[in-house]
Amino acid sequence: MTTLTPAEERTMVREPAQAVPAGIAERIGPLRVLMVPYIACVESGDVVCPAKPKGETHTAAWVETSERTNLLLACREVDAHDTGFEFLASVAELLRPRLNVSELAAYDELLDEELRHGVRGEIDEESLTAKQALLAIRPWRRSRLQYEPYRDISLMSTVAEYMHGLWHDVQIRVGPEHLPLQQLRRRMTLMSNLFPPNPGYAVFAKDLEEEPKTEEGAAPTGS
């Protein structure tokens, strides 16, 4: 473990953890977060290192036991906000195998609508890469082996961005590689229906309560 200043601890763990909806926290169960300097990737597995390793590194790793999940976050030479978002991304990834059939079906329906309407953007770069690989297949509807990996990446990124927006205000990036505002809003609305925000947290700012009319691509980004 590593020593954090009060400001670092607040930004890296406490504030993003408080933004995690209770429904998601309950689904994941007990979670212990350990802040470490570096996480090295070696042949035998992931290893915590006090000094910067020469090879490949990870920003997060976890071990699930019958009692709890132990989440390790590498925080040396990483911006505090980025570590906080990595925490939320890890929570989103832990949530994915715990979703039920109806929840996955709801997200499948949302993606199906986007694909039928020719929406080519996505919520982040990793999801966009997976989507482009899927769209390169004809017809994509018959290729569940390619669809489901894209669905899972997109879903985890959307859950992470949903919690990111609950944590603090985010700016919206626009462009053809991003989701249109209408689709972005629909994803956030679905997430809020599945996992409502905790008391005192809001999905949308008051000036965004009305359905946006623009179809320009957009994606949330940290402010």
Count of Cβ atoms closer than 10 Å to residue 207 Cβ: 6
Q: Whole-angstrom Cα distance, residue 193 to residue 162? A: 11
Handedness of CA 190, 191, 195, 198 (dihedral sign): negative
Given a contact cutoff of 8 angstroms between Cβ atoms, the answer to whether 167 and 16 are in contact is: yes
Interatomic CA distance for residues 72 and 60, integer angstroms: 6
pTM for the model stands at 0.87
Residue 16 pLDDT: 96
- pLDDT of amino acid 214: 42
Whether the Cβ atoms of residue 103 and residue 194 lie closer than 8 Å to each other: yes
CB neighbour burial string for 34-44, b if at least 16 within 10 angstroms, e if fewer: ebbbbbbeeee
**pLDDT-above-70 percentage for the chain:** 88
Q: Around Cβ 97, how many Cβ atoms within 10 Å? A: 8
**Band of residue 44 on the pLDDT scale cut at 50, 70, 90:** confident
Rounded mean pLDDT of 63-76?
Answer: 93
